Amino acid sequence: MSKTFLLITFLLLSCSNIARQPNAKAESLLHFYSDDNYLALFVLVNTNPNRRTDKNYTKDILNFQNKIWAKDKSDYERLLSNFKGPNQLTYLTFKNKYEHDYVNLISSSIVTDEFQVLKKQNDAYKSNIEKMWNDDFSKTEAIVVSLTGLNLDKASDVMITHPGLRNGRELQGQWIEWGGHSDQAYVVTYLWHELLHQYFDRSNLSHSVIELITDNELNKQITGVGYPPFRGHQQLSVIENCLAEDWNSYLVGDSKNIMDFLQTNKSKECGALFEDLNW
């Protein structure tokens, strides 16, 4: 074997490793999963039309719900009577309680042809969301680090629910749930939003700062769409408007330490807004 061949092989392998490094970091921060049992219960509980985000999936969702209503009406009625809203069911409450409570309903649901259609859609959606995250990671990580000064070393697991049903929440630093959105800029922006919750406390002020970082500035740098008006939870916009002047000064400053920014603004005149805000 010639020395020239060995050198070329070494260089190709080295380049290949360099190309994979950003994705290796991306995969170390977010790990994507699906759970058929949870998917079944999640779809069964989300009967409100307002939860549907893509009409291309509506027929298949309704086919599954109607199938289980006809097949296991008593258990399905019991399920719906016990859930007052979609936020009552999370992956944490599911694993701790509801998977056991509704084991028979789940078992009979996941074997139906109608569920297999939803499973196939969800598996494809999971692969697509993971690809979006990995493809944009190098660019977006650099932006988030430049905006915050944080050492991004906290990982999270992401439970993918379904492309046709709205979902997006962070569960006590243990899980992120995601579903119902397929626009790449939107997906990547809000995955960063949910991931950053691990670095902040649970105050309204911290949540508003996360929105300034991700929903607004990160999104602006990805899409070119400026702000205000502020994107995110409408109820938090009053805080974000209060922070706007200091936020703009922070953005043009030489060094970035988002925790210093947060601490400084805890004592501002608009501080009364921060924790009196109910939503």
Q: How confident is the model at residue 272 (pLDDT cuts 50, 70, 90)?
A: low
Written as one letter, the residue type at 15 is C
Please say whether the beta carbons of 181 and 161 come within 8 A: no
Q: How confident is the model at residue 28 (pLDDT cuts 50, 70, 90)?
A: confident
Q: Could you give the CA distance from residue 42 to residue 160 in angstroms, rounded to a whole number?
A: 11
Please say whether the beta carbons of 207 and 198 come within 8 A: no
pLDDT digits (tens, 9 = 90+) for 65-78: 999 999 999 999 99
Quote the pLDDT of residue 99: 96
Quote the pLDDT of residue 257: 97
Give yes or no for residue 7 having a pLDDT over 60.
no
Q: Could you give the CA distance from residue 88 to residue 175 in angstroms, rounded to a whole number?
A: 15
Q: What is the residue-averaged pLDDT of the chain? A: 88
| Full-model pTM | 0.87
Percent of the chain with pLDDT over 90: 77
Nearest to 168 by CA among 183, 146, 149: 183
**b/e map 207-234, b = 16+ CB within 10 Å:** bbbbbbbbbbbbbebbeeeeeeebbbee
pLDDT digits (tens, 9 = 90+) for 247-271: 999 999 988 999 999 998 887 766 5
Q: What are phi and psi of 32, to 5 degrees?
A: -100, 135
